[in-house]
Structure 1
């Protein structure tokens, strides 16, 4: 049976609304460079065949990449992918168009690249505690799921036909979620909501809030649940999570509300379910946390569903 931390990780992953799009699929030969930065979007690169280098000029880092490796950029980070190990050679390499996939061609590198869009501002908020980029390899023993997903992705990418298979982005989604879950379990995250999972005393509190979001939670109630004095709880919570207990409570409540509204719950019922008797008060907090009003969020959710159908 999953423990409390695993249940909370699953809940958080289930609350992330992700839209993945494929930017280009193909291969490069000779001297080239590729990048998805500069568009203020999260992105990914999957190395389908061959090898290359990932350069991050601002950080002064570089990584050797090979077939089976995937890099996820959770934020818009300046980077360049190229066959050149030297940064200057990579930066001065030409930007050329991708050729069609032909894995039998020697000295070539095949890539699948695209973008992530997190559909609500809360998704950005919850993922803000993760590193700017994450490297995943099918060779890592602790990420066996990624190995199987990469093999499926490669099969879809090389399938004969016209347009790229829509399953490619779905498989990238799954790879992304497995990697994020791995980071949570390894506690490779900084302060914010996800950091709560690393502290047993705070994960108990989170579990209780999710189970009873309409409860009139006071700081004293939270402190008692964690067996701390009010002063010690407030100081420790703020240090670990990076925000006040009351703001954290509002974040969790609004996250629940967004899911229920998207599922068709009325705005008044959603407000009551997360502890607000006044629709106006609920709307103010919803706008403060998510950046949009509940009604606008509901209309946008319905539009997305119609487009998806």
Structure 2
């Protein structure tokens, strides 16, 4: 069966924007308020403070990895930070290597930092299925992957962009694997950690074209309709058919961008006719599938 987590990462079309090595000493604070790109950070040595908007501050130490798939404002600082609004001293000591704080002070933090972009125009739906913040401690595989990305960014090797794309996909999957549990916030990872819901999610992804109702999904999961509906909404964060429709439309967009005939798209995502598909697509996306296909061909 298809793997929902792998499919979500693949459809996000991640690409690396920035990868850099950062060291810091003394008092420093970096504030991101422009709500930029998704962000990750791996602490190699030392410790620092990270404060994401609306959340309690977290001390990050060596071996910690943080991924923020959603776009939040946040600050990173020395354990004794500068006042908010104060500008950190920031010096690029060599290409892709930055020093924060006081140049003469002993180095008390070394971190690998990256910003990425998601190339799909359906990222709002797909990112909503993931945790808002992933914080993993002591996962050596994640640290090695971040280091490989950092090394590949600095080198001018054959097929560099392809390698970076694949490494970033693996990094995202590894981070999601490391945080998948019943204690995750409602979303795809928590749903996949539920032994009664995981088969349903796999079936939705494996065969989006089959006839699906809450009743048939509940019957496949060996639950009553109401129990299944409540459990799915609690664990995944949306109602079953809302999830199924969102996934079908994400796939439909991808197929239309690949110039697949509309009749085939309709059949592959579970609609009995192109007119029924067109109505559903227009309602969900805000434009007919033909117009969407033409707009993406022009782009």
SS in 2 for 1:120: coil
Any idea what the Cα deviations from partners look like across 1:29-79, whole Å, max 9, x if unmatched? 55433244422532233446665332346433131344x544322223332
* Count of residues in Structure 1 that have an aligned counterpart in Structure 2: 288
Higher strand share: 2
Give, in angstroms, the shift of residue 179 of structure 1: 0.2
Change (3 A) 1:80 1:149: same
Within-5 A mapping of 1:52-201: 52-56=48-52, 58-66=54-62, 69-82=64-77, 84-89=78-83, 92=86, 94-100=88-94, 101=97, 107-108=106-107, 109=109, 111-120=111-120, 122-137=122-137, 140=138, 143-156=139-152, 171-184=167-180, 186-201=181-196
Give, in angstroms, the shift of residue 270 of structure 1: 0.7
SS in 2 for 1:125: helix
SS in 2 for 1:271: helix
**Is 1:251 the counterpart of 2:224 in the alignment?**
no
Change (3 A) 1:268 1:59: same
Q: Tell me which of 206, 214, 220 is aligned to 2:209.
A: 214
Give, in angstroms, the shift of residue 22 of structure 1: 0.8
Residue number in structure 2 paired with 1:202: 197
The separation in 1 between residues aligned to 2:165 and 2:205, in whole angstroms, is 31
Question: Greater CA deviation, 244-253 or 52-61?
Answer: 52-61
Any idea what the Cα deviations from partners look like across 1:155-198, whole Å, max 9, x if unmatched? 44666x8xxx75667644432221012223x3443224443322
Any idea what the Cα deviations from partners look like across 1:237-257, whole Å, max 9, x if unmatched? 333333333222212222332
Note if contact 1:45-1:72 (Cα within 8 Å) is conserved in structure 2.
yes
TM-score normalised by the chain length of structure 1: 0.73
Question: Greater CA deviation, 106-115 or 212-221?
Answer: 106-115
Note if contact 2:16-2:116 (Cα within 8 Å) is conserved in structure 1.
yes
Note if contact 2:46-2:110 (Cα within 8 Å) is conserved in structure 1.
yes
Note if contact 1:26-1:99 (Cα within 8 Å) is conserved in structure 2.
no
Any idea what the Cα deviations from partners look like across 1:222-244, whole Å, max 9, x if unmatched? 22212223333333333333333
The separation in 1 between residues aligned to 2:262 and 2:143, in whole angstroms, is 43
SS in 2 for 1:98: strand
The separation in 1 between residues aligned to 2:190 and 2:250, in whole angstroms, is 16
- Give unmatched runs, 5+ long, in structure 2: none
Note if contact 1:53-1:64 (Cα within 8 Å) is conserved in structure 2.
yes
Q: Tell me which of 220, 226, 230 is aligned to 1:225.
A: 220
Note if contact 1:44-1:114 (Cα within 8 Å) is conserved in structure 2.
yes
Note if contact 1:21-1:169 (Cα within 8 Å) is conserved in structure 2.
no
TM-score normalised by the chain length of structure 2: 0.75
SS in 2 for 1:152: helix
Note if contact 2:15-2:117 (Cα within 8 Å) is conserved in structure 1.
yes
Q: Tell me which of 28, 32, 49 is aligned to 2:28.
A: 32
